[in-house]
Amino acid sequence: MAKNHRSSHKSEQQLEAGSDRASPILHQKAREIQPYGKLTRMPIALDENVRAESVGNLNQILADTMTLRDMYKKHHWQVAGHTFYQLHLLFDKHHGEQDELVDTIAERIQLLGGISLAMAADVAETTMIPRPPRGREEAPVQISRLLEAHELILKEARTMAKQAVEAGDDGTNDLLVSDVIRTNELQVWFVAEHVVDVPLVRAANA
């Protein structure tokens, strides 16, 4: 009996030893390899102070873009009323486009040697966009919140684009103008037209 027990235990050990390299290494911890706010050296022909300014600006745009993106998803879920179907689809489309912007901005920050904001708590501390209530709001109020958020992002993006040009950071300028500004301008147009007060069936004074 004892011999069988030893044999079984030995077989288990052999099985475990044979799978060690294929087993995940769990509960690992270590110091950060790069603290937030510190830049790595990147051979992209831009001075560190230029890269630092762009990283700071882009992290602000990133936080606000992530907030706007999430607001679109909130409104996509919670929209109500006779324009539900149209707004439900539009809000989700704009959420997807803002999500693409988030990735583009974050990758530019990393490319510049910085650290991009990522976690919700950090975004909430940084964003300039007012936090909406947890509850459900009427569609015109949802749209007003979205338009105000877009305008805030557009104002800061224009200012930051000029700063990037003056500093010689053409890549950041191109991202802000070609991606952030143009995407937000187009979305403003599509959303703003939903709060134009025109008759649905009978023309005014008809």
**What pLDDT score does 10 carry?**
64
Domains of the chain: 48-193 (1.20.1260.10)
**What pLDDT score does 4 carry?**
62
**What pLDDT score does 76 carry?**
98
Among 105, 83, 104, CA closest to 190:
83
**What pLDDT score does 118 carry?**
97
Angle between helices 84-111 and 182-192 (to 10 degrees): 170
Q: If 0-12 CB within 10 Å is exposed, 13-18 middle and 19+ buried, where does residue 62 land?
A: buried
What is the Cα–Cα distance from 41 to 51, expressed in whole angstroms?
10
Please say whether the beta carbons of 40 and 34 come within 8 A.
yes
What is the Cα–Cα distance from 194 to 23, expressed in whole angstroms?
55
What is the Cα–Cα distance from 40 to 145, expressed in whole angstroms?
37
pLDDT (tens digit, 0 to 9) for every residue of the chain, 206 residues total?
A: 555 666 666 666 665 666 787 889 999 999 999 999 999 999 999 999 999 999 999 999 999 999 999 999 999 999 999 999 999 999 999 999 999 999 999 999 999 999 999 999 999 999 999 999 999 999 999 999 999 999 999 999 999 999 999 999 999 999 999 999 999 999 999 999 999 999 888 888 87
